[in-house]
């Protein structure tokens, strides 16, 4: 049965128009604006002509069905804010064909609140209304649902059909306004089978971003590749389902239209600390997460920009797994599995062979955007070459005419504030203000002295040193 499905998919690919444009969906993690120099990423760095769709992450959901801005100072223009939404959407002036969306949810947002709101017809209706108003108010072209995940992580079985009901109520409202409705979803069968009615998702969504990465990571006791294209010899049971090919096959066989299926690829790797540095292949014993990188600062995860810089500096050995078609790199007891230009080229060929809708990337700010390892955005350009037939030319930037008398619109990078306390910085990193939990400082070592940057969490949030980010006050020790 399976071979016939893919036989007909191949026929469909041959029958499709040769020049039909594939989607390249670029997610932007807005918290990357707070990273240290070298990894700090500004919205202005995004090359919109290399993306057909750009998705700003994230906003949140409230218990009464509202859409909540999570970082008002970064996202909005109010109170000397940086106007991230506005600046993101303004990038369309450089690439008028590119569409912008706002995403709700993500891993940290959890599942239980979505389950409660979407399971209540009154709250669900209010949520639909608030979504439409939010998209229109901030001038996005669409909305991306990233509920991780229905019927999991505090959800309940009814979530599966309640998620469909949400889409069915959003669909006509979006159609009236010409808006795009998409979702990011679990890719692998063991998770996706719990959460989705795939034929109904395919019917109601414009496209579906399957997150075909995080298939292995430091939560496991042995090393594994973040996003292997194919299985490896010796795998059995659910292990055989934890590869890109198995994920795609599951979604297609379960009723997803190929042209709506967007294959997600990771612009980062999953890292491990080896139990024995002499056993360093795929499946080697691991004793935990790999060391955090200098930019992303998250144990067990390294951005491609960090990986390529490590390899360039030397001491790392890169091995290409011939079965699973992706590389991994080893140095001492450090191990990371990731994607590079070569492996992404093969994945893009795979997309074309099945006539899938295109590729999604998570996320643009961990590509080599500074070009420290060669050209800028090598991974994103590789996607364009394979899916769009080449790298689109950068358009000329708009210039103001000589008679323009408009005052500057650039806002201060920080709201007015008192100077930081003397001696607040003891080491590089972040530190909370001793008197105000909502205020924190970034300490940057510059030639032996500290440059201090002040930040303020959005209303109702406090800086949480355990995550180096803003969190609800009741979750932060000492700030209740």
DSSP 102: E
pLDDT at 412: 34
pLDDT at 446: 63
> Encoding tokens for residue 176?
């009236």
Contacts (Cβ under 8 Å, ≥6 apart) of 142: 99, 100, 101, 102, 135, 174, 179, 180, 181, 182, 206
Pairing between β-strand 180-186 and β-strand 99-105 as defined by DSSP bridges: unpaired
Distance (Å, whole) CA 350 – CA 326: 14
Lowest mean pLDDT among 10-14, 90-94, 245-249, 368-372: 10-14
> Would you tell me how many other CB atoms lie within 10 Å of the CB of residue 21?
12
Going 249 to 254 to 256 to 258, the CA torsion angle's sign is: positive
Burial of 469 (0-12, 13-18, 19+ CB in 10 A): middle
> Measuring CA to CA, which residue among 169, 51, 186 is closest to residue 105?
186
pLDDT at 431 > cutoff 50? yes
| Catalytic one of 93, 133, 148, 394 | 148
Q: What angle do CA 92, 93, 99 make, to 5 degrees?
A: 15
Distance (Å, whole) CA 140 – CA 130: 14
pLDDT at 465: 82
> Measuring CA to CA, which residue among 377, 327, 386 is closest to residue 356?
386
Q: Which has more pLDDT, 456 or 83?
A: 83
Domains of the chain: 2-266+340-388 (3.20.20.80), 429-475 (no CATH)
Distance (Å, whole) CA 480 – CA 475: 8
Going 144 to 148 to 149 to 154, the CA torsion angle's sign is: negative
**What are the pLDDT digits (tens) for 50-68?**
999 999 999 999 999 999 9
> Encoding tokens for residue 104?
């709700």
Mean pLDDT of 120-134: 98
Cβ proximity of 323 and 224 under 8 Å: no
pLDDT at 413: 36
Mean pLDDT of 234-256: 97
pLDDT at 345 > cutoff 50? yes
pLDDT at 306 > cutoff 60? yes
Total count of residues recorded for the chain:
480
Mean pLDDT of 215-241: 97
pLDDT at 14 > cutoff 70? no
Is 253 noted as a catalytic residue in this protein? Answer: no
> Measuring CA to CA, which residue among 149, 322, 309, 151 is closest to residue 229?
322
The pLDDT confidence band at residue 459, using thresholds 50, 70 and 90, is low
Distance (Å, whole) CA 242 – CA 187: 9
- Arithmetic mean of pLDDT over the chain: 90
**The whole model's pTM is what?**
0.82
pLDDT at 415 > cutoff 60? no
Sequence-ordered alpha helix ranges (H) in 100-229: 112-118, 121-137, 159-177, 189-195, 198-204
pLDDT at 18: 37
pLDDT at 450 > cutoff 60? yes
> Would you tell me how many other CB atoms lie within 10 Å of the CB of residue 231?
17
The pLDDT confidence band at residue 398, using thresholds 50, 70 and 90, is low
Given the structure tokens 């500096």, which residue do they identify?
Answer: 313
Q: Which has more pLDDT, 125 or 464?
A: 125
pLDDT at 378 > cutoff 70? yes
pLDDT at 409: 33
Distance (Å, whole) CA 221 – CA 422: 45
> Measuring CA to CA, which residue among 241, 231, 232, 337 is closest to residue 289?
337
**What are the pLDDT digits (tens) for 260-302?**
999 999 999 999 999 999 999 999 999 999 999 999 999 999 9
Q: Which has more pLDDT, 440 or 399?
A: 440
> Measuring CA to CA, which residue among 171, 73, 165, 87 is closest to residue 131?
171
pLDDT at 416: 39
Mean pLDDT of 142-168: 98
In SS3 terms, 266-278 reads as ECEEEEEEECCCC
pLDDT at 424: 86
Cβ proximity of 164 and 123 under 8 Å: no
Contacts (Cβ under 8 Å, ≥6 apart) of 15: none
Mean pLDDT of 21-41: 96
**What are the pLDDT digits (tens) for 312-331?**
999 999 999 999 999 999 99
pLDDT at 104: 98
| DSSP, residue by residue, 26-74 | EEEEGGGGGSPTTT---GGG--GGG-SEEEEEEEEE-TTS-EE-S-HHH
Distance (Å, whole) CA 289 – CA 370: 27
pLDDT at 379 > cutoff 90? yes
pLDDT at 418: 55
């Amino acid at each position: 049965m399976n071979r016939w499905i893919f036989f007909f998919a191949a026929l469909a690919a041959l029958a499709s128009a040769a020049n039909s444009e594939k989607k390249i969906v670029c997610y932007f993690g807005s918290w990357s604006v707070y990273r240290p120099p070298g990894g700090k990423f500004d919205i202005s760095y995004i090359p919109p002509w290399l993306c057909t769709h750009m998705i700003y992450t994230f906003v949140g959901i409230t218990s009464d069905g509202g859409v909540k801005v999570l970082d008002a100072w970064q996202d909005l223009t109010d109170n000397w804010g940086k106007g991230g939404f506005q600046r993101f959407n303004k990038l369309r002036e450089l690439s008028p064909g590119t569409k912008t969306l706002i995403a709700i949810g993500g891993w940290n947002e959890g599942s239980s609140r979505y389950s409660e709101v979407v399971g209540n017809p009154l709250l669900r209706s209010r949520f639909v209304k608030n979504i439409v108003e939010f998209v229109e108010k901030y001038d996005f072209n669409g909305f991306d649902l990233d509920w991780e995940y229905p019927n999991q992580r505090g959800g309940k079985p009814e979530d599966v059909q309640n998620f469909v009901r949400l889409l069915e109520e959003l669909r006509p409202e979006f159609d009236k306004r010409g808006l795009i409705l998409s979702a990011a979803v679990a890719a692998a069968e063991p998770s996706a089978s719990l959460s989705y009615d795939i034929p109904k998702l395919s019917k109601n969504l414009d496209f579906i971003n399957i997150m075909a990465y995080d298939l292995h990571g430091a939560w496991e006791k042995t090393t594994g590749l973040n996003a292997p294209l194919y299985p490896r010899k010796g795998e059995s049971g659910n292990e055989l389902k934890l590869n890109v090919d198995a994920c795609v096959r599951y979604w297609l066989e379960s009723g997803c239209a190929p042209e709506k299926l967007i294959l997600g690829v990771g612009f980062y790797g999953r890292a491990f600390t080896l139990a024995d540095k002499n056993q360093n292949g795929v499946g080697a014993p691991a004793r935990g997460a790999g060391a955090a990188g200098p930019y992303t600062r998250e144990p067990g995860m390294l951005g491609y920009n960090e990986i390529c810089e490590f390899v360039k500096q030397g001491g790392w050995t890169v091995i290409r797994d011939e079965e699973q078609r992706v590389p991994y790199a080893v140095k001492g007891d450090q191990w990371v599995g990731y994607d590079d230009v070569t492996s992404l080229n093969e994945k893009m060929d795979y997309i074309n062979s099945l006539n899938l809708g295109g590729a999604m990337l998570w996320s643009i700010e961990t590509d080599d955007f500074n070009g420290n390892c060669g050209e800028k955005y090598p991974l994103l350009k590789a996607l364009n070459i394979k899916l769009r037939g080449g790298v689109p030319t950068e358009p000329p930037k708009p210039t103001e005419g000589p008679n323009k008398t408009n005052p500057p619109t650039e806002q201060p990078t920080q709201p007015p504030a008192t100077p930081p306390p003397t001696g607040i910085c003891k080491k590089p990193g972040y530190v909370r203000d001793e008197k105000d939990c909502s205020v924190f400082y970034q300490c940057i070592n510059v030639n032996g002295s500290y440059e201090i940057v002040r930040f303020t969490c959005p209303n109702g949030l406090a800086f949480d040193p355990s995550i180096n980010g803003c969190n609800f006050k009741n979750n932060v020790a000492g700030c209740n």
